[in-house]
Structure 1
Amino acid sequence: MDGNGNVHNTGGSNQDGDNTPPAVTDSTQYLIVFDKNPNQTYGFDKKEYDAHLNNYNTAVIHEEQYIIPWKSVQSGGIDYVDVQNAQADRQAAFPDAIGFKTATRTLSAQAGMDDNKKKLSVIGTTHENVEEVLVYVIRKDEEGKDTEEVVGKLNVISYDQVYNKVYIVPVNGNGYPYNQTSLANELNRIYAQAAVRWDVRMHAGIQVDWDLDGDGKMDHEAPIRFLQRLQNIFPQT
């Protein structure tokens, strides 16, 4: 890659077949942006507030600042992200001239929800490894050589899958007012961006006497008794 963000094709091969786009001969400008796919399993994050700018890497594309979004995926797994040509309307077909690749492989994109969108497959690597996805077009330079022009970027971070258990323990006959499955689904939705899954289980419940001396006030030792009961149920904690 040179100082202008152009990648010169050295003729190297890739690991996943030839998804190299055709070279373009005109001066059409492209700017590819990313968004979450409605069927994604893990997380997607793009800048929405200026105060959060320091959480993102930036690049210069077409002499403008390009804020690189984040996509998370399970280590060794696969997930999807939407891509769109920001310099065309929704009726315009996504250009065939666009290619996607990382330092080790080319990536494939499928038809998206709109003509101007594609669904890009991203592949997890190893735990907490960050891999940059380059979006590019191939142009002929003044000498007739193929030059790759970067028109978008995405950071993909991989996480090992983590499994956690949550126990709901009713105290003194107080029931849990919500659906156990709904809680698990909501926890999984929130923590999916970090590849965390939750197993929610319901305990039969415990009895704790908060006022042994009968003065109508909670005993100072009551919280200790409560914690001791929990430790008897879950000694590993």
Structure 2
Amino acid sequence: MSPQQNLAIVSGASQSNNVGIFMAASIAHEVNQPLAAIVANSHACRRWLSADPPNLDRGRTTLERIIRDANAAAELISRIGGLFSRGGARARTSVDINQVINAVWQSMADEIATKNVRVVIELDRDLPPARADRIQIQQVLVNLIRNALDALDTGADNARSLRIRSLRDEAGTIRVEVRDNGIGLNEFEQIFEPFFTTKKHGMGMGLAICRSIIESHDGRLWAAPNKPGGTTFVFTLPDHASDAEALRASHGAQ
């Protein structure tokens, strides 16, 4: 075997190992989010039930969130298993992005409340549905909001604010913005690379996974600086109607 062939084998093994590490980290990151929410809501539920008198309404609401997050974790694990089976694919349906934003906001309300953050949600009521994997888009939103909360935690000395906005842009695509007035960023492209992180905790996989998810939906994800400070994360998705029209056009061309 020639030195060139040996080098090719070693290079291929190294690349395969890197892919394996990326996949393992991605799976760990995906499953960790609903599990972390379960732990947080379990502590909250215990507080409500330990109050004098017990707050049964809040306890019941928090328990429903625990059940929801446990089901989400089970669905994630099931879909991850499907990816490794023949023909495995992620389910995509017509999704109301505004409903997804509201669901994520409700699931994170207690977590956000502890941060003393003013939240503004602006939703375009005429937004068309997207063809998407609802669970994946929820993951993207949760991750972007948590990044914003971390930025607000580590240096914002003015009134902390977070704005979540949906709209249809000039190109006709669905656009979602998560804007904070935190410390801001310097590495606007590097933050989307696997294993890159500016935090003391975490694997640096969150934003890489988010971009991978959005691009798999034929959308885009990027970050931009705010004035006077902070960051806006933006992602776009094609709407369901445009997706259907493109599919009909492709069939007509055959």
Q: Looking at secondary structure, tell me which structure has more strand per residue.
A: 1
- Bigger-Rg structure (1/2): 1
TM more than 0.5: no
TM-score by length of structure 2 reads 0.19
Q: Looking at secondary structure, tell me which structure has more helix per residue.
A: 2
TM-score by length of structure 1 reads 0.20
Between the two structures, name the one with larger relative contact order (CA 8 Å, sep ≥ 6).
1
